[in-house]
Amino acid sequence: MSTAETSRFVRLRVELVLEVDDAGALTGAALGRIAKDADMPAEERVHAESAVTEDTAEALAYLVDPFDLVSGVPGVELAQASWSSEQIDYDPDSPDWDLDEDDVDEDDEEVDEDDEEEEAAG
Protein backbone atom coordinates (compact mmCIF):
# COMPACT_ATOMS: atom_id res chain seq x y z
CA MET A 1 0.00 0.00 0.00
CA SER A 2 1.45 3.33 -0.98
CA THR A 3 1.74 6.26 1.41
CA ALA A 4 -1.14 8.03 -0.37
CA GLU A 5 -3.42 5.03 0.26
CA THR A 6 -2.48 4.68 3.92
CA SER A 7 -4.74 6.40 6.44
CA ARG A 8 -3.12 8.85 8.77
CA PHE A 9 -5.51 7.77 11.52
CA VAL A 10 -4.80 4.93 13.93
CA ARG A 11 -7.21 3.51 16.51
CA LEU A 12 -5.37 2.61 19.70
CA ARG A 13 -7.35 0.35 22.02
CA VAL A 14 -6.20 0.00 25.59
CA GLU A 15 -7.95 -2.04 28.25
CA LEU A 16 -6.78 -1.80 31.83
CA VAL A 17 -7.92 -3.57 34.97
CA LEU A 18 -6.95 -1.59 38.04
CA GLU A 19 -7.18 -2.61 41.68
CA VAL A 20 -8.40 0.19 43.93
CA ASP A 21 -6.79 -0.31 47.31
CA ASP A 22 -7.57 3.17 48.68
CA ALA A 23 -10.98 4.36 47.53
CA GLY A 24 -10.74 7.42 49.79
CA ALA A 25 -7.54 8.61 48.14
CA LEU A 26 -9.01 8.02 44.69
CA THR A 27 -12.22 9.88 45.52
CA GLY A 28 -10.27 12.72 47.15
CA ALA A 29 -8.08 13.14 44.08
CA ALA A 30 -11.13 13.21 41.80
CA LEU A 31 -12.85 15.79 44.02
CA GLY A 32 -9.64 17.86 43.92
CA ARG A 33 -9.57 17.77 40.12
CA ILE A 34 -13.23 18.83 39.97
CA ALA A 35 -12.60 21.67 42.42
CA LYS A 36 -9.70 22.98 40.28
CA ASP A 37 -11.80 23.03 37.08
CA ALA A 38 -12.75 26.71 36.92
CA ASP A 39 -14.65 26.21 33.65
CA MET A 40 -17.09 23.66 35.07
CA PRO A 41 -20.59 25.08 35.62
CA ALA A 42 -21.91 24.89 39.20
CA GLU A 43 -24.72 22.45 38.32
CA GLU A 44 -22.31 20.11 36.55
CA ARG A 45 -19.87 20.39 39.48
CA VAL A 46 -22.55 19.24 41.96
CA HIS A 47 -23.39 16.27 39.71
CA ALA A 48 -19.72 15.37 39.22
CA GLU A 49 -18.95 15.55 42.95
CA SER A 50 -21.92 13.31 43.71
CA ALA A 51 -20.92 10.80 41.02
CA VAL A 52 -17.29 10.45 42.14
CA THR A 53 -18.29 10.23 45.80
CA GLU A 54 -20.75 7.40 45.14
CA ASP A 55 -18.71 5.37 42.63
CA THR A 56 -14.96 4.76 42.55
CA ALA A 57 -15.20 3.91 38.83
CA GLU A 58 -16.56 7.42 38.20
CA ALA A 59 -13.76 8.88 40.31
CA LEU A 60 -11.22 7.04 38.19
CA ALA A 61 -12.87 8.26 34.98
CA TYR A 62 -12.39 11.86 36.15
CA LEU A 63 -8.68 11.27 36.73
CA VAL A 64 -7.74 9.31 33.61
CA ASP A 65 -7.45 11.44 30.50
CA PRO A 66 -6.58 9.88 27.12
CA PHE A 67 -4.87 13.12 26.10
CA ASP A 68 -2.38 12.59 28.93
CA LEU A 69 -1.52 9.18 27.49
CA VAL A 70 -0.47 10.51 24.08
CA SER A 71 0.43 14.16 24.66
CA GLY A 72 4.15 13.36 24.86
CA VAL A 73 4.23 11.11 21.80
CA PRO A 74 6.04 12.90 18.95
CA GLY A 75 4.31 13.22 15.61
CA VAL A 76 0.75 12.51 16.76
CA GLU A 77 -2.26 14.61 17.66
CA LEU A 78 -5.29 13.24 19.47
CA ALA A 79 -8.22 13.46 17.02
CA GLN A 80 -10.96 11.85 19.12
CA ALA A 81 -11.20 9.93 22.39
CA SER A 82 -13.77 8.24 24.54
CA TRP A 83 -13.38 6.18 27.66
CA SER A 84 -15.43 4.65 30.39
CA SER A 85 -14.91 2.83 33.63
CA GLU A 86 -16.95 0.31 35.56
CA GLN A 87 -16.62 -1.83 38.63
CA ILE A 88 -16.12 -5.49 37.74
CA ASP A 89 -15.61 -8.89 39.30
CA TYR A 90 -12.07 -9.88 38.38
CA ASP A 91 -10.42 -13.27 38.56
CA PRO A 92 -6.92 -13.15 37.05
CA ASP A 93 -6.89 -16.95 36.75
CA SER A 94 -10.08 -17.07 34.67
CA PRO A 95 -9.68 -17.71 30.93
CA ASP A 96 -12.32 -15.00 30.41
CA TRP A 97 -9.62 -12.42 31.22
CA ASP A 98 -7.17 -13.41 28.48
CA LEU A 99 -5.77 -10.05 27.38
CA ASP A 100 -4.71 -11.37 23.96
CA GLU A 101 -8.22 -12.43 22.88
CA ASP A 102 -8.98 -9.07 21.24
CA ASP A 103 -5.81 -9.23 19.15
CA VAL A 104 -7.24 -11.85 16.77
CA ASP A 105 -9.58 -10.73 14.00
CA GLU A 106 -12.59 -12.93 13.21
CA ASP A 107 -11.26 -13.30 9.66
CA ASP A 108 -7.95 -14.63 11.04
CA GLU A 109 -9.84 -17.17 13.17
CA GLU A 110 -11.69 -18.43 10.08
CA VAL A 111 -8.39 -18.89 8.24
CA ASP A 112 -6.94 -20.80 11.20
CA GLU A 113 -10.00 -23.10 11.31
CA ASP A 114 -9.68 -23.78 7.56
CA ASP A 115 -5.98 -24.61 8.00
CA GLU A 116 -6.79 -27.04 10.82
CA GLU A 117 -9.44 -28.78 8.68
CA GLU A 118 -6.98 -29.11 5.78
CA GLU A 119 -4.30 -30.55 8.09
CA ALA A 120 -6.77 -33.08 9.53
CA ALA A 121 -7.88 -34.15 6.03
CA GLY A 122 -4.35 -34.32 4.66
42-59 burial by CB neighbour count: b if 16+ within 10 A, else e?
eeeeeebbebbeebbbbb
Q: How confident is the model at residue 122 (pLDDT cuts 50, 70, 90)?
A: very low
pLDDT, one tens digit per residue, over 59-80 is 999 899 888 889 999 999 999 9
Distances (CA, A) of 92 to 21, 54, 69, 88, 97: 16, 26, 25, 12, 6
pLDDT, one tens digit per residue, over 16-59 is 889 999 999 999 999 999 999 999 999 999 999 999 999 999 99
Residues 67 and 81: beta-carbon distance below 8 Å = yes
27: number of Cβ within 10 Å? 21
- pTM here is 0.65
Residues 85 and 57: beta-carbon distance below 8 Å = yes
